[in-house]
Structure 1
Amino acid sequence: MKVATKTVNVHEAKTHFSKLLAAVAKGQRITICKDGMPVAELGPLEAKLPRRRSGLLKGRVTISDDFDAPLPPDMMAAFEAGP
């Protein structure tokens, strides 16, 4: 979903900063311009995904001893043929 961007000049940004932050909190992006040129953008923070913990499946997943063994010819032919 594309959110409309509002453009303001530096004076307006300083004067109405609290109102602009309230708009950002609702998902709006604000472009701040100086002398008609965009110089900054205010926007909502991106949601951060939680870090994955290593070892989470330790003891639950096993890899067979022949994991690296060559595939049977019919399976190898199917892989080489592609989708």
Structure 2
Amino acid sequence: MEHYSIQEAQTDLPKLIAEARHGKTILIVSEDDQAVQLVPVPTPPKRRKAGSARGLVTLASDFDAPLADFGEYME
């Protein structure tokens, strides 16, 4: 965990943001010992789009034909 003063954070903010994105914990401390923590915000999962698998799934022509194993139950 690295500590930075407010003045250091103001001059090096892009560097601190890059470090936080790579998993480092960054604390920015004021003169009266109050601190804030710089952490990355997790990215939301990608949304699925309806119809994106079109053409990838095919059904056999006899898909809904009765199965021979169930013949005795269908009489």
Q: Which segments of 5 or more consecutive residues in structure 2 lack a partner in the other structure?
A: 46-75
Larger Rg: 2
The alignment covers a number of residue pairs equal to: 46
- The normalised TM-score by structure 1 is 0.47
In structure 1, the residue matched to 2:27 is: 31
- Aligned amino acid, residue 5 of structure 2: N
Q: Please give the alpha-carbon distance, in whole angstroms, between the structure 1 residues aligned to 2:34 and 2:25.
A: 13
In structure 2, the residue matched to 1:71 is: none
- The normalised TM-score by structure 2 is 0.51
In structure 1, the residue matched to 2:52 is: none
List, as ranges, runs of 4+ consecutive aligned residues in structure 1 with deviation greater than 4 Å.
Answer: 46-49
Q: Please give the alpha-carbon distance, in whole angstroms, between the structure 2 residues aligned to 1:46 and 1:38.
A: 25
- Percent of pairs identical after alignment? 24
Q: Please give the alpha-carbon distance, in whole angstroms, between the structure 1 residues aligned to 2:17 and 2:38.
A: 8
Q: Which segments of 5 or more consecutive residues in structure 1 lack a partner in the other structure?
A: 50-83
| RMSD over aligned Cα atoms | 1.9
